[in-house]
Amino acid sequence: MSATLQTATEARSGKGHKDENFPVASHLIHPRNRGAILAFYDFVRAGDDVADHTTLAPERKVELLDVLADALTGKGPSDPEAEPLKRELLARGLPATHALELLDAFRLDAVKNRYADWDDLIAYCRLSAMPVGRYVLDVHGEDARVVWGPSDAICAALQIINHLQDCGKDFVRNDRVYLPQETLDKHGAAISDLGAAKASPALRAVIRELAERTMGLLDEGAVLPDLIADLRLSLEIAAIHRLAVVLCRGLMERDPLSEKVHHGKAAFALTALGGIATTLARRPLRGRTLRRHALGGRA
């Protein structure tokens, strides 16, 4: 692809929602909401492909992301990547805030390729991951005061799991390192270790520590399926959470540079079904969970 791309469409990688590590608007989601979620995904995917493009200059990436933002908000000309989401937002009376925050994350990706510490990484997740969950919850009419907090924790965890799984690819392909420098220094690991065929013991220690911290985020968000009013969305999130826990445990034990961490299709389905079954069994106790959550977790 040439560095003279004129639109975000020309930067598209061809990757779709079925290629993601976690389900995106699976058929658990009610048909009335799947279109709105897929429109959001497609818009965000277009921005992500711009940010990840290997030959575009950083300033050109930012320009193309600005064009997407202006098309979505109506400040600029129409863009085919923005129109489906723009229609969904208008039909549902939702703001463009969550999508625009994702574009802010992609602008960061265009100009920033290192992270100082855990807090720096979480601040990135606030833009790159948390708005995704918030948008899905808003589409379903869930109470933001109840569900945004645990959703933020799960979404940050999903993002970091992806970073850990792809740490070698991100470094080799885009010279991008999401592993915090503070954690690398703590274990005596070098950024150049990410370019090896196999992780060094020091890099494995870094990945293990970050996976353990990520498991803490998943623990924080574990209550989310029980807080959600929409049963189908509750089951979708339960499946995603269970898959994330298994992946996170895998990252504590396996080397993402040389070993496959992700599930096969059969294991993927069984793990997801386990999360769904557990949430269904707890569903009659949802009222009690809501009351306990409102009291800050106290019985």
pLDDT of res. 21: 57
Pair 139, 92: CB distance under 8 Å:
yes
Pair 39, 24: CB distance under 8 Å:
no
First-to-final CA distance of the chain: 58
CA angle 105, 106, 110 (to 5 degrees): 120
Q: 114-299: what CATH class?
A: mainly alpha
pLDDT of res. 137: 97
Q: In this structure, what DSSP letter does residue 257 have? A: T
The dihedral built from the CA positions of residue 86, 87, 89 and 93, taken in this order, carries a sign that is positive
Which H or E run includes 262?
A: none
Q: In this structure, what DSSP letter does residue 254 have? A: S
pLDDT of res. 122: 98
What residue spans define the domains of the chain?
Answer: 30-112, 114-299
What is the percent of the chain with per-residue pLDDT over 90, rounded to a whole number?
76
Pair 121, 115: CB distance under 8 Å:
yes
CA-CA distance, 200 to 197, in Å (whole number)?
9
Pair 177, 167: CB distance under 8 Å:
yes
| Ranges of residues in the chain whose predicted pLDDT is under 70 | 1-25, 263-269, 297-299
Record the pTM: 0.88
